[in-house]
Amino acid sequence: MKNRFLAVVFTTLFSFAFNFTSFAQFKKENLKIGISYGTGSQNKFPFNLASYSHTVTFYKGVVNYKLSEKGRWTFETNIEPSYNVAEHQLLNKFFIKPTEPDYQEKQDLFTQKRTIKEYVLNCGLIARYTIYKSVSVYALGSVGPMISDKETERLAKGFAFSDIFGLGVSYGIDNIQLDARCSVRHTSNLETKQPNNGHNTTNIEFSILYNL
């Protein structure tokens, strides 16, 4: 499964690079690359369900490309491959009903705190507004495939999707862009497998990007 995901990642990145280099209007100076670190938790507004605990740490690569600019507005594509480490624990064992197969074994397993690894490729768009010189704010929406290495009571192991909406602020210094973002994230698998209640987190991330 990991090999399949890596194939999707490399195919997507190759296609992205090929399409850009094939465009006559491609400009190297519109491209930014960088890294990002962040954390998230289900136990924060607007989620904070009492039935489970879910925290996550993000380690991301970031590729942004400016598509267009009009006045103070700019629009960018955003690609973020990431490796995430989540800590998950079911707090209300009665979330798993006696009608489910092997429900007692599942209750015993899922009420333990467990570490889950995620491999994710989010792709999206950024709408950015420049406030003053090097200071800008933006909204981000992205979606992409992910693979997790463990099942929880809320999400099956393996293939799923990661959906993100975020608001951020950026500050530019020469060719360097410093970035802080708050976001909400939902993971689910479009009912391809059960369970599919999904995981939700409220996140904060910090990035540094270099403008080529």
User: Rg of the chain over CA atoms, in angstroms?
Assistant: 19
Q: Which of 151, 116, 137, 135 is nearest to 182 (CA)?
A: 137
pLDDT at residue number 29: 86
The model's pLDDT over 50-87, given as tens digits with 9 standing for 90+, comes to: 899 999 999 999 999 999 999 999 999 999 999 999 99
Please tell me the distance from the alpha carbon of residue 143 to that of residue 157, in angstroms, as a whole number.
19
Tokens describing residue 94: 């009665």
pLDDT at residue number 23: 47
pTM for the structure as a whole: 0.84
pLDDT at 37 over 70: yes
CATH assignment of the domain containing 132: 2.40.160.20
| Total domain count, the chain | 1
- Phi, psi dihedral angles at 184 (to 5 degrees): -120, 145
The model's pLDDT over 12-24, given as tens digits with 9 standing for 90+, comes to: 555 555 554 444 4
Contact 198, 165 (CB under 8 A): no
pLDDT at residue number 24: 43
Range of the domain at 41: 2-211
In 10 A of CB 204, how many CB atoms?
17
